[in-house]
A and B are shown apart, each in its own frame.
Chain A
Amino acid sequence: MGTIIKKYEPKWSDRFYLVAILQGMMITLKHFFRKKITIEYPDVKRQPKPGYRGLHRLNKHEDGKIKCVACGMCASACPADAITVIPIESPYEESRPSISEKYAQSEERFPGTFEINELRCIFCGMCEEACPEAAIELTEIYDFTYLARKQAIMDKESLLDIFDKTKNGNFYLQEAK
């Protein structure tokens, strides 16, 4: 049993249209006085929701040591091939607590070079998922631009800087303050 949809037959009064037009104009008038949804971007910045995938950062331990153990998981997980990790021997003296015992042996490795090409990156968040040390994370920063391709390749230092900028909660909330 299907439903029978009656064809719309305009009533005699509908044919004057003027009423409908006035109704329509009242609707637009209501919108005129509504709160505007425009965000005036450079002055006011949109607050991304939690889980937003923006610019990367490299996390640090409490004591300031780099969490990354240069295992290369992120680089191999990356579908865009945006990450380059070149491991070197760890400069840290004492061994660090690893969050996953499985990769405890990787403590001796250390990212000598860690570069992310933000132009290649598709911000899928796979690197974040793959990292056994929770060392790489995507932050809420969305307005980053570059004047040259070279600048788009974020090196280790700048990624660590991003961590400093974002570790105390929302970047844009802090900026607004």
Chain B
Amino acid sequence: MFNIWITLIQIVVVFGVTMLGIMVCIYLERRVSAFLQDRLGPNRTGPKGLLQPIADGIKFFMKEDIIPDFVIRWLYILSPGILMAPALLGIAVIPFGKPFELFGYTIPMQIADLNIGILYILAMTSIGIYGLVLGGWSSNSKYPLLGGLRSSAQMISYELTMGLAIVSVLMATGSMLMSDIVAEQMQNGWFIWRQPLAFVLFWIAIFAETNRLPFDMTEAEQELVGGYHTEYSSMKFAMFFMGEYASMITVSALITTLFLGGWAVPFVSLETLDSFGIWGTLLSVASFVAKTGFFILVYIWVRWTLPRFRYDQLMRLGWKVLLPIALFNIVLTGILMAVWK
């Protein structure tokens, strides 16, 4: 019974923090992009403009919610949710802190430590794509359809690289449990050092996976008038918008867990963390949040630096460059493992 309550509390807290994270992301996106362009960005709403995301949200709520006549209604209404929900669900298996003891119970800082942790995340990020594809398809007009189609092709190409990059991590860990992966990294060093190639590949792939520039073919304002969400307005559009940020947070947390040691605090061993008790847990959570935040910042930074890829370049990069390198990396990992064993 106690466990269920703990899990419920965790769900609420993690959901709340992720939602807050989305708001922070929106704020950062606007402010950082402005700063990179020598502007100031929104700084009027609240101190330093911190309430801007709330103002944005209120604005979206107030807008008229237009459902065009020609859409496939139920899919059209469903697809923002299909995009948003998996992005939030993915967070569930990510360990974001050191487990701590409370009343004799060990409370894991993770909602569910599934034994197929990574597969689950891969599945969730892929399902999110249905949101885009269905959104584009059900809109029943040409630009959203193109955006949706592009996203599906892009996903297939980059999911592969992403999966293969993870495979080499799995080979080194020998487990799909997210907690095992973190424990392995704390013992033998972070995977960013042990699998640098996989790290870079994975990093590139998650940009494509979350449809961020330079891979935002699905939106591509200049070509597709906004892509899959052209026909959406008001809160439904906001859902797409928030879904994008939610998946950004999820994959940033994922890459942190897989390659940057998750909640491991640099230069502090597990024993030292243990001796800190609850503070050790907090420290580990802080470390996790900092690393995730770094990746989110890089997301934003890259978006406002790089131009968009052309579609054929995108495909060429995915299939002809990243995929062979990923395969090579797996072979390399296998050989090295065989040699060292």
Contact = CB atoms under 8 A, between A and B. Distances in A.
A32 B39 contact: no
A7 interface: no
Contact of A38 (B32, B40, B305, B306): B40
Interface in B10-56: 32, 35-40, 43
B302 interface: yes
B307 to A, nearest CB: 9
A29 interface: yes
B39 A38 contact: yes
Nearest to A38: B40
A28 B301 contact: yes
A24 B39 CA distance: 18
Nearest to A29: B301
A21 B302 CA distance: 9
Contact of A24 (B32, B40, B43, B306): B306
A32 B36 CA distance: 4
A37 B34 CA distance: 11
B304 interface: yes
Size class of A's contact patch? 10 to 19
B252 to A, nearest CB: 17
Contacts, number: 35
B302 A32 contact: no
Contacts of B306: 21, 24
B40 A28 contact: no
B38 to A, nearest CB: 5
Interface in A30-88: 31-32, 34-38, 40
Nearest to A34: B38
A36 B37 CA distance: 8
Give the dominant DSSP class at A's interface.
Answer: helix
B35 A25 contact: no
B304 to A, nearest CB: 6
Nearest to B36: A28
Residue among B36, B40, B302 with the highest chain A CB neighbour number at 10 A: B36
A36 B40 contact: yes
B29 to A, nearest CB: 14
Contact of A28 (B39, B43, B304): B304
Contact of A31 (B35, B40, B302): B35
A27 B301 CA distance: 11
Contacts of B304: 28
A32 B33 CA distance: 9
Interface in A98-118: none
Interface in B68-116: none
Contact of A37 (B39, B302, B305): B39
Contacts of B37: 31
Interface of B: 32, 35-40, 43, 301-302, 304-306
Interface of A: 21, 24-25, 27-29, 31-32, 34-38, 40
7 contacts: A21-B305, A24-B305, A25-B302, A31-B36, A31-B38, A32-B35, A38-B38
Given A25-B302, A40-B40, 15 more contacts: A21-B305, A21-B306, A25-B301, A25-B305, A28-B301, A31-B35, A31-B36, A31-B37, A32-B36, A35-B38, A37-B38, A37-B39, A38-B38, A38-B39, A38-B40
